[in-house]
Chain A
Amino acid sequence: MEKSTYIYMKKIGMFLFYMMLFLVAGLQILPLVWLLFFSLKNNQEVFNTPLFSLPSPPRWENYVKVWVEGDIGLYFFNSLWITTVSVIFTVLLASFVTFAITRMNWKLKHVVLGLFMVGLMIPIHSTLIPLFNFFMKVKLIDHPMSIVLTNIGFNLPITIMILLGFYNALPRELEESAVMDGCSVHRMFFQVILPMTSPVIVTTTIINMIYNWNEFVFVNTFISSDEYKTLTVGIQNFIGQYTTDWGAIGATLMISVLPILIIFFFLSNKIMEGITAGAIKG
């Protein structure tokens, strides 16, 4: 009898546990639903109807407006390539540094690590004027490279920090056996370390992707030509001197979150795949 009660209790417990999990999951989806509804409203409805009400009729024209009036296609393309290039270089450079700091032997490594960590601590608004001057001097103002470079520079520290915790946990025997086999450092890095750290590489890729995709302060400041602007700047098209078109902003936000959502779902699976791949190699 006691045993069956125990199993019974355990079942109820599991049920409640899953209830909780899915309830929270439901809550976490709501923001997307809200954003969709928001993007189908006009200003009146945005402020005066409940958060999760579908306006009637839904104003799909918001999307038409965003597509026609903003140069969304071009902004989209810019966002895409700037984000891609920035993410690849940030993660790669950060992996190099983390590898050198955690696995290799040199005197200044703690100092260098400290230098990178301090890079986390400066508020971006106080860097705008000095950086503008710098890009002015190297003639990169109004050039997309200025955005790529700042994206990399400002995300390197946080990426290195995240990688650090993982690299510290990697078993050293691996490298030892690799070196015994006469493997060079480069080969070890690319063939052993990178595959083994692929879960965290995917993680930092996701994080960097989100940061770079949503970045707008630097784009606003360093870019003035329309041809180099990115999606986040597109939002400004709907903020006027005295009035703001919230529905169109909602549509822009929705358009800009979709690609990142899809890539995220795709990459998120890679965290698992990476782990299995690493396990086989290891």
Chain B
Amino acid sequence: MDKVMSDKRVIALYVLPALLMIIILVYVPIIMTGYYSLMKWDGIGERTFVALDNYKQLLKDSMFWKSVYHSFLLAVFSVLSLGGYLVVSLVLAGRIKGANILRKIYLIPMLLSSVAIAQLWLRIYHPSNGMLNQFLSFLGVDDPPNWLADPSIVLYSVFIPIIWQYAGFYILIYYAALKNIPSSIIEAAIIDGANPWQLAYKIKLPLIAGVIKVTIVLAVVGSLKYFDLIYVMTGGGPNGASEVIASYMYQKAFRSFNFGYGSAIAFSLLILCIVATWLIRKLTHTEEEVQY
């Protein structure tokens, strides 16, 4: 057994093609980003080596720290929302009538591109004729909020569509994981008299713990480098109130023509992601992986 499963040639054959692609397509850009981050460069003209100047400036840049804080907030909300997705998946994967069609319908929004989702939510949030504020006026609210213009709420206003956009993604993963549990285990538990709560909490959740850990990492990393909807819906504004790391990086590199500085932001983002992932792995580490 061991001998067969340690065949170096097989391992190389299985791993190298993918590894090669990653190294060329992802690591070369990462290294170049690190290199550019040590330069003063507008992205066009000459590059001047400035060592760690960009990073020193970054440490003093309050806008950068604000965007880091916003990105972390998004990560926290995303992780919390995983709980909700898990409940929905447990329900959909359970023995309920119409589960098949319900599951499909629940995942529809995830098929839409960010462009479409952004347009939908811009209409919902429109301050005067948006769906939300018309509803609030109907309820008798005098001066409904400016969802995307008020700096104190804009961040949360854009979080909602983001979290909604990703619901399908996580529900799909959880659903597949739950369905992957051999039915013999579930049946045995039911025979033993487990009620649906016990079944979910004591049997199903521990069995998909590995998948849950992975989704936590995905949610955190995905949130930290999130860009799409924020850029379309608010552009990071007003006045940076919804700026996140990736949108700030984009603004600096592509709008301010400060590619060196933008690269420093991108590289810091990478480091933040690595640290966060490492922490998550530490925190959720268990001695042995659950097996059936």
Contact = CB atoms under 8 A, between A and B. Distances in A.
A and B touching (C-beta < 8 Å)?
Answer: yes
Interface of A: 18, 21-22, 24-25, 28-29, 31-32, 34-35, 38, 47-48, 50-51, 93-94, 96-97, 99-101, 103-106, 112, 115-127, 129-131, 134, 149-150, 152-154, 156-158, 160-162, 164-166, 168-169, 171-172, 175-176, 179-180, 184-186, 199-200, 202-203, 206-207, 210, 214, 232, 235, 246, 249-250, 253, 256-257, 260-261, 264-265, 268-269, 271-272, 275, 279, 282
A200 to B, nearest CB: 5
Question: Which 5 pairs across A and B sit closest by C-beta, in order of nearness?
Answer: A153-B25, A165-B211, A121-B273, A127-B29, A126-B266
Q: Among A134, A171, A185, A186, which residue has the most Cβ atoms of chain B within 10 A?
A: A185
7 contacts: A28-B105, A99-B14, A129-B259, A166-B211, A169-B207, A169-B208, A257-B113
A172 B21 CA distance: 30
Contacts of A50: 129, 131, 134
Given A127-B26, A176-B1, A117 B277 contact: yes
Interface in B23-60: 23-30, 32-33, 36, 43
A200 B176 contact: yes
Given A112-B15, A264-B104, 4 more contacts: A25-B106, A48-B129, A51-B123, A96-B14
A268 B18 contact: no
Contacts of A200: 176-177, 180
B212 to A, nearest CB: 8
B172 A153 contact: no
Report the interface size class on chain B. Answer: 35 or more
Contact of A268 (B29, B107, B212, B253): B107
Contacts of A206: 172
A126 B249 contact: yes
Mostly, the A contact residues are helix
A279 B182 CA distance: 8
Given A168-B289, A172-B291, A271-B176, A31 B112 contact: yes
A279 B259 CA distance: 53
Nearest to A215: B113
Interface of B: 1-2, 4-8, 10-11, 13-15, 17-19, 21-30, 32-33, 36, 43, 91, 96-98, 100, 102-117, 119-120, 123-124, 129, 131, 134, 169, 172-173, 175-177, 179-180, 182-183, 207-208, 210-215, 217-218, 221-222, 224-225, 227, 245-246, 249-250, 253-254, 259, 262-263, 266, 269-270, 273-274, 277, 289-292
Contacts of B253: 125-126
B176 A118 contact: no
A175 B14 contact: no
B179 A123 contact: no
Contacts of B103: 268
Contact of B116 (A120, A158, A253, A282): A253
B116 A130 contact: no
Contacts of A24: 106
A126 B33 contact: yes
A160 B107 CA distance: 22
B173 A257 contact: no
B169 A207 contact: yes
A96 B5 contact: no
Contact of B180 (A103, A149, A157, A166): A166
Given A105-B5, A153-B26, A93 B21 contact: yes
A169 B22 contact: no
Given A48-B129, A162-B214, A165-B213, A121 B225 contact: yes
Nearest to B225: A123
A210 B110 CA distance: 8
Q: Among B6, B15, B254, B266, which residue has the most Cβ atoms of chain A within 10 A?
A: B15
A179 B33 contact: no
B11 A104 contact: yes
A24 B100 CA distance: 15
A250 B112 CA distance: 12
A157 B270 CA distance: 14
A171 to B, nearest CB: 5
